[in-house]
């Protein structure tokens, strides 16, 4: 009888754990500080990760950007000051980010150093510009706050073009298509906070809706390095979970959902083998890493979408 009780107890515990954290693949925790750590960006060689560190009582001067190995070793601060939503340039030379509590966009050399201001004073940023590099690193997409429009900055000429806006909506740039001809964005209704997925040509003339996603899609789109898959955050009750779908649209699969915790901010490693994301499952805001099998996901999604 005791053995039967023990088996039932173990089965109950395993079932409970599975309900609490439904991870498609095994995850490992990368950061452990009680501060908010998250929004990882990978180096082009997939050997390093930069993440933001934020606390409102920063007596030790730890706020800013930190670099760490994917195995959790060698953590080092490379920028001091409030910094969010960092993106590593494709050539590995620079890291661009939202600075000054989201009221400006700056960049630093990848090895660290003084922040570089490059946008003119006529461009206003508020609550973050979400800068993201084109595949060849020659352009940056971002959102400006005056007209709530997605703009493209040319790194060589300094020219800025506004390509998309929609009244009553907040377009949130998330990245570029692999051919550099389109920008992926979440278009959020400012009242309901629900979003749709868009693919916007860089001249702004063509806007396509990527359909079939989870009805409670929120934001945080991430295109896989081979361009085949999209990972995104969607609301599960009061909490965000991560889902994956084919890049052209269709039905989705949950990839990580945690009861009573958020999972968001996905970032693919350039080699396509891992996905970094933010999670509050430990009680902190931390960076976690999931090693993924893109080919398996493509097969399962193809079957699901038959």
The CATH code of domain 37-304 reads: 2.120.10.30
The answer to whether residues 165 and 150 touch, using CB atoms and an 8 Å cutoff, is: yes
The answer to whether residues 175 and 183 touch, using CB atoms and an 8 Å cutoff, is: yes
pLDDT (mean) for 149-166: 98
Euclidean distance between CA atoms 168 and 166, whole angstroms: 6
What would the pLDDT profile of 207-220 be if each residue is shown by its tens digit? 999 998 777 888 89
Phi, psi of 109 (to 5 degrees): -60, 150
Q: What is the 3-state secondary structure (H, E, C) of 99-112?
A: ECCCCEEEEEECCC
In eight-state DSSP terms, residue 238 is: T
The whole-chain average pLDDT of the chain stands at 92
What would the pLDDT profile of 2-31 be if each residue is shown by its tens digit? 443 333 333 333 333 334 559 999 999 999
Q: How many residues does the chain have?
A: 306
Whether the predicted model's global pTM rises above the 0.75 cut: yes
């Amino acid at each position: 009888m005791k053995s039967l009780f023990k088996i039932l107890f173990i089965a109950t515990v395993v079932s409970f754990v599975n309900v609490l954290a439904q991870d498609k693949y095994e995850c490992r925790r990368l950061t452990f500080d009680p501060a908010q750590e998250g929004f990882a960006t990978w180096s082009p060689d997939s050997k390093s990760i930069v993440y933001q560190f934020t606390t409102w009582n920063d007596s030790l001067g730890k706020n800013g950007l930190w670099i760490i190995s994917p195995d959790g070793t060698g953590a080092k601060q490379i920028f001091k000051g409030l910094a969010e939503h960092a993106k590593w340039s494709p050539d590995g030379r620079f890291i661009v980010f939202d600075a000054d509590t989201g009221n400006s966009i700056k960049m630093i050399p990848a090895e660290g150093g003084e922040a570089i201001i490059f946008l003119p004073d006529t461009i206003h940023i508020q609550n973050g510009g979400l800068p993201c590099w084109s595949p060849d690193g020659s352009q940056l997409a971002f959102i400006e706050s005056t007209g709530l429009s997605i703009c493209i900055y040319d790194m060589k000429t300094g020219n800025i073009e506004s390509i998309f806006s929609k009244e009553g909506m907040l377009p949130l740039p998330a990245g570029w298509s692999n051919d550099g001809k389109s920008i992926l964005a979440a278009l959020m209704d400012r009242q309901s906070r629900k979003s749709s997925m868009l693919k916007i040509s860089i001249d702004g003339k063509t806007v396509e809706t990527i359909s079939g996603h989870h009805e409670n899609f929120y934001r945080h789109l991430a295109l896989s390095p081979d361009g085949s898959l999209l990972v995104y955050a969607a609301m599960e009750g009061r909490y965000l979970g991560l889902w994956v779908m084919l890049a052209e649209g269709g039905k989705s699969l949950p990839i990580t959902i945690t009861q009573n915790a958020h999972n968001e901010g996905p970032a693919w490693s350039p080699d396509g083998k891992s996905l970094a994301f933010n999670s509050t499952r430990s009680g902190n805001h931390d960076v976690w890493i999931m090693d993924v099998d893109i080919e398996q996901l493509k097969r399962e999604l193809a079957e699901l979408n038959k």
